[in-house]
Amino acid sequence: MTTVRNLNVDGEAALLRAAMVQELRDSGAITSESVVKAVATVPRHLFAVGEPLKTAYAANQALVVKRNQDGDALSSLSATHIQVVMLEQAEIEPGMRVLEIGSGGYNAALVAELVGDAGTVVSVDIDADIVARARTCLETAGYSQVKVVQADADTGVPQYAPFDRIIVTAGAWDIPSAWLDQLSERGRLVVPLRLRGITRSIAFDRSGDGLVSDSYRLCGFVPMQGAGSYVERLITVADGIGLRVDDQRQDFDVTALAAAARSPRLEVWSGATFDLPDELELFLATSTPEMVMLHGSKQLVDQGVFALSVTRGVPALVNGGSFAYRTKRPNEETGGFESGVLAHGPEAKAVAARYVELLRQWASEHQRRGAARIQYRPMPAGTAEPSPGIVAKRLGAVEISWS
Ligand SMILES: C[S@@+](CC[C@H](N)C(=O)[O-])C[C@H]1O[C@@H](n2cnc3c(N)ncnc32)[C@H](O)[C@@H]1O
């Protein structure tokens, strides 16, 4: 009886898995045959314990595995969509030694398929419960060769270093020196890095003492815990209005900004096409140190105070008691959209003009996928001066240039 039921489950899982692979191929998330084969092989449902098969094989569904007392996710089985994007960025080959930071089991099993019998997979997690769960799932699915280690990945896993690939599956704010030290000479580090309130999965290769990347993709992850954890400043301007800020040195005139939000808004249109929003967001968020992420509630959108873009966070330029943020409107001639700016406060005109200039600059010079080059240079804290394209971190600085 048990055998019959398992056969049915396995059969249905195989069908759903094949459909998921097709969907990921069609969307362009998977581009290589090796990743197709890995996803088509690993039984994801065995890592999504207690979930319906359909949920386990929904390509864009992340499954929360553990939450803290406030209900925030501490660990999740990431969506297959983002896992395969990162595996494609990593370009893993048979025989490689790979470190996965943040365990769950499923992604490590995919990596095990990619490196094959001659390769090594090490997965590290800070949380004992997650380590135990990952070990059990990997054992059940037939991947007991994966070494699951409990440690704070801030110091890497020196006992198994060096690694040809390090794939980080928790949101990092900086790059600990251990990751650089434990990466082989021609190694690659794929890391979801937080930059001025937005996250991009960046595939870095070594370049001198630092790292360089031409490959970055939109993503979201549970935050890094332990020594490398970082709490971003969220400045409450008023009920339902917040500024997410990277640089601890910035001060804001909250009272003036709250008054500005309630004052009539100035609307300025750029005449430039609005396209590739994730690329534009990276450009804007890192284009000048004065850029912050503005978050506003749906309630304020419904009241006509803000445009819808604020509900998910939008780069905003703040100048004293004035601010401006990006918006868009349909362009009937092209069938696409035009970008524009909404500004509030006594200096609304000046702030809007500066913002519109950035929108036009991006549209005329950089509006294509992959135009950014991202470098990371280790340097003592406080050395990197905030300037356009430079995002200072604790242990180094991220420099973004656009071609
Ligand atoms: C998104 S989950 C990992 C998903 C997993 N790779 C998978 O196959 O789906 C992120 C994990 O990172 C872990 N984590 C957070 N900070 C860490 C740290 N400093 N060192 C090691 N693990 C950490 C969390 O405990 C959590 O389990």
Residue 3: alpha-carbon gap to chain centroid: 41
Q: What is the pLDDT of residues 149-195, one digit of tens each?
A: 999 999 999 999 999 999 999 999 999 999 999 999 999 999 999 99
Same domain, 81 and 108: yes
Q: Which amino acid is at 8?
A: N
For residue 381, being part of any structural domain is answered with no
Q: Is there a single domain that holds both residue 211 and residue 251?
A: no
State the pairing for strand pair 233-238/210-218: unpaired
**Ligand 1 pocket, residue 107 CB under 6 Å:** yes
Q: Are residues 15 and 75 in the same domain?
A: yes
Q: How far is Cα 235 from Cα 9, in angstroms, rounded to an integer?
A: 49
Q: Are residues 301 and 166 in the same domain?
A: no
> Are 376 and 397 contacting, i.e. CB atoms less than 8 angstroms apart?
yes
**Last residue in a domain, options 228, 261, 291:** 228
CA dihedral 206, 212, 215, 221 (to 10 degrees): 80
Range of the domain at 273: 233-366
- Is there a catalytic annotation at residue 322? no
Residue 336 within a domain: yes
| Domain count for the chain | 2
Residue 376 belongs to a domain: no
Query: Does 179 sit in the ligand 1 pocket, CB within 6 Å?
Result: no
- pLDDT higher than 80, residue 295: yes
* Residue 378 is assigned to a structural domain of this protein: no
Read off the DSSP letter of residue 321: T
Torsion of CA 58, 73, 172, 274, to 10 degrees: 60
Q: How far is the CA of 333 from the centre of ligand 1 (A)?
A: 47
Q: What is the mean pLDDT of residues 80-93?
A: 98
Residues 77 and 92 in one domain: yes
Using CA atoms, how far residue 391 sits from 63, 235, 241, 301, in Å, is 32, 19, 24, 30
DSSP 262-318: HSPPEEEEEEEEE--HHHHHHHHHHH-TTEEEEEE-HHHHHTTSS-GGGGG-EEEEE
Domain end marker among 228, 250, 285: 228
146 and 282 in a single domain? The answer is no
Give yes or no for residue 2 having a pLDDT over 50. no
User: Ligand 1: does its nearest atom lie under 6 Å from the Cβ of 104?
Assistant: yes
- pLDDT, average across residues 259-270: 96
Protein residue with its CA nearest to atom 13 in ligand 1? 102
Shared-domain flag, residues 66 and 166: yes
What is the structure's pLDDT at 6? 65
* Residue 58 to residues 18, 77, 78, 214, Cα–Cα distance (Å): 11, 12, 11, 29
In a domain, 125, yes or no: yes
Q: Of 80, 194, 222, which is best to mutate to test ligand 1, by the most ligand atoms within 8 angstroms of its C-beta?
A: 222
- Residue 382's pLDDT band (cuts 50, 70, 90): confident
Q: Give 328 Cα–ligand 1 centroid separation in angstroms.
A: 36
Alpha helices in 68-226 (DSSP H): 80-90, 106-115, 128-141, 177-181
Query: Scanning the structure block, which residue is given the tokens 């890391």?
Result: 191
Average pLDDT, the chain: 94
Spatial distance between the Cα atoms of 358 and 368, rounded to a whole number of angstroms: 15
Shared domain check, 206 and 264: no
Average pLDDT over residues 1-27: 84
Ligand 1 site, residue 152, Cβ cutoff 6 A: yes
Select the more confidently predicted residue: 380 or 331.
Answer: 331
Alpha-carbon distance 152 to 198, whole Å? 24
> 66 and 108: one domain?
yes
Tell me which residue of 19, 36, 179, 6 sits closest to 102, measured CA to CA.
179
Same domain assignment for residues 103 and 192: yes
CB 109 within 8 A of CB 40: no
pLDDT at res. 5: 52
Task: Say if residue 179 is exposed, middle or buried (CB neighbours under 10 Å; 0-12, 13-18, 19+).
Answer: buried
pLDDT tens readout for residues 220-264:
999 999 999 998 889 999 999 999 987 777 789 999 999 999 999
- Give me the percent of the chain exceeding a pLDDT of 90: 88
Q: Which of these ranges, 122-136, 332-346, 386-400, has the smallest mean pLDDT?
A: 386-400
Alpha-carbon distance 372 to 193, whole Å? 15
CATH of the domain at 31: 3.40.50.150
Percent share of the chain, pLDDT over 70: 98
Within-domain flag for 61: yes
Residue 239 forms part of a structural domain: yes
Task: Clarify whether residues 35 and 135 are in a common domain.
Answer: yes
41 CA distance to ligand 1 middle (Å): 23
- Look at residue 385 and tell me if it is in a domain: no
Over the stretch 117-143, which tens digit does the pLDDT of each residue have? 999 999 999 999 999 999 999 999 999
Is pLDDT of 4 > 70?
A: no
Catalytic residue, chosen from 75, 76, 78, 309, is 78
Do 51 and 143 belong to one domain? yes
Q: Could you list the beta-strand ranges (E) of 116-232.
A: 120-125, 147-150, 163-168, 183-195, 198-207, 210-218
Among residues 210, 228, 246, which one ends one of the domains?
228
C-beta 76 within 6 A of ligand 1: yes
pLDDT at residue number 7: 62
- CA–CA distance, 331 with 233 (Å, rounded to integer): 36
